[in-house]
């Protein structure tokens, strides 16, 4: 996992906001820093130069004095979302907490303009695995974070997207309910932990934190599995070898 305390954005390679056309072509997490060394915004991109050709925060950032863009190259672009998320949580830049209009972001609405909607395929399985590992139910997390229980359940099953703002709120809530759960999620996103190793729970543990829809799915799966086992046993008992064995 990336060591956040060792990252000093002010010492990273940088260019002034007005020199952005000369930014390198690379995948990176970038920091927008104003005078005196205030991190205003953190973002991620697969192409730093192209991203800043028409950035949605440009008008706002031009209001700050001596604004510069610093960057941290990330060669594995699959890790960009997790690293960006961890850095936003660590440095808490003010513009990441507000919409383009300057108002606080709504917890239940992805920032469409900011294109921060996280791909479900990258996050939902790890989010769900973390909840199960620490026995955190969607209901408890909803009560802690004020994010709707249905929204949480839909995301953990991969049925909807979620914004960076909402995910940060949920991770804070998880940490309040179960210490070290947020760090575990970050480790999974960075690839330090294999997803399968986080899914080794007893059936009883999984049932204890399942919501109503998950319980219905589980009951159906158990019934189908039980039916298959019974059918398999019936076929074996009716096989010629079994019949011959009984005759002897």
Residue 144 sits in a domain whose CATH number is: 1.10.260
pLDDT tens digit sequence for 39-73? 999 999 999 999 998 888 888 898 888 899 999 99
Same domain, 89 and 124: no
Q: What is the pLDDT of residue 196?
A: 42
Residue 222 lies in a domain: no
Residue 75 lies in a domain: yes
Q: What is the pLDDT of residue 213?
A: 61
Percent of the chain's residues with pLDDT above 90:
30
Same domain, 91 and 125: no
Higher-confidence position of 59 and 78? 59
* Domain final residue, candidates 97, 132, 164: 97
Q: What is the pLDDT of residue 114?
A: 36
Same domain, 72 and 130: no
Same domain, 69 and 30: yes
Contact between residue 23 and residue 211 where contact means Cβ atoms under 8 Å apart? no
Same domain, 128 and 192: yes
Same domain, 93 and 126: no
Same domain, 196 and 162: yes
Q: Determine the average pLDDT of the residues in 89-113.
A: 62
* pLDDT at residue 220 greater than cutoff 50: yes
Q: Determine the average pLDDT of the residues in 165-177.
A: 87
Q: Determine the average pLDDT of the residues in 22-49.
A: 94
Q: What is the pLDDT of residue 51?
A: 92
Higher-confidence position of 141 and 206? 141
Contact between residue 83 and residue 74 where contact means Cβ atoms under 8 Å apart? yes
pLDDT band at 34 (very low <50, low <70, confident <90, very high): very high
Residue 196 lies in a domain: yes
Same domain, 79 and 124: no
Report phi then psi at 3, rounded to 5.
-90, 100
Q: What is the pLDDT of residue 230?
A: 78
Same domain, 141 and 179: yes
Pull the structure tokens for residue 3: 């060591």
Same domain, 125 and 208: yes
Q: What is the pLDDT of residue 178?
A: 93
Residue 238 lies in a domain: no
β-bridge pairing 68-73 and 28-34: antiparallel
Q: Give the domain extent around 62.
A: 13-97
CA distance 133 to 127: 10
234 half-sphere exposure, CB direction, 13 A CA radius: 6
Residue 164 lies in a domain: yes
Residue 239 lies in a domain: no
Residue 69 sits in a domain whose CATH number is: 3.40.1440.10
* Domain final residue, candidates 62, 97, 132: 97
pTM: 0.54
The DSSP symbol for 189 reads H
What domain count does the chain have? 2
Residue 4 lies in a domain: no
Give one DSSP letter per residue of 25-94, joined into a string.
SS-EEEEEEETTTEEEEEEEES-HHHHTTS-TTHHHHTTSTT-EEEEEE-S-GGGHHHHHHHHHHHH--G
Query: Percentage helix, strand, coil, to 5, in the chain?
Result: 55, 10, 35
Q: CA gyration radius for the chain? A: 24
* pLDDT at residue 168 greater than cutoff 50: yes
* Domain final residue, candidates 97, 129, 148: 97
Same domain, 86 and 154: no
The partner residues of 14 in beta bridges, in order of sequence, read 70
Residue 102 lies in a domain: no
Same domain, 79 and 145: no
Spell out the alpha helix ranges (H) of 96-211.
120-133, 138-145, 149-156, 164-177, 181-190, 203-209
């Amino acid at each position: 996992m990336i060591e956040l305390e060792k990252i000093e954005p002010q010492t990273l390679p940088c260019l002034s906001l007005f020199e952005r056309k000369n930014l390198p072509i690379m995948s990176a997490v970038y920091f927008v820093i104003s005078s005196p060394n205030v991190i205003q915004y953190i973002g991620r991109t697969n192409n730093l130069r192209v991203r800043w050709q028409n950035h949605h925060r440009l008008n706002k950032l031009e209001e700050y004095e001596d604004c510069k863009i610093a960057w941290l190259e990330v060669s594995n672009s699959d890790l960009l979302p997790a690293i960006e998320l961890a850095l936003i949580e660590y440095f808490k830049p003010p513009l990441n907490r507000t919409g383009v209009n300057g108002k606080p972001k709504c917890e239940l609405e992805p920032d469409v303009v900011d294109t921060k909607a996280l791909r479900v395929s990258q996050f939902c399985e790890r989010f769900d695995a973390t909840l199960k590992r620490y026995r955190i139910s969607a209901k408890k997390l909803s009560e802690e974070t004020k994010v709707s229980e249905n929204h949480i359940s839909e995301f953990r099953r991969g049925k909807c997207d979620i914004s960076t703002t909402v995910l940060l709120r949920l991770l804070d809530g998880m940490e309040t309910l179960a210490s070290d759960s947020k760090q575990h999620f970050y480790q999974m996103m960075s690839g330090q932990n294999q997803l399968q190793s986080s899914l080794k729970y007893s059936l009883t543990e999984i049932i204890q934190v399942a919501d109503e829809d998950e319980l219905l799915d589980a009951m159906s799966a158990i019934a189908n599995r039980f039916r298959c086992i019974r059918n398999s046993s019936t076929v074996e008992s009716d096989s010629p070898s079994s019949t011959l064995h009984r005759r002897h």
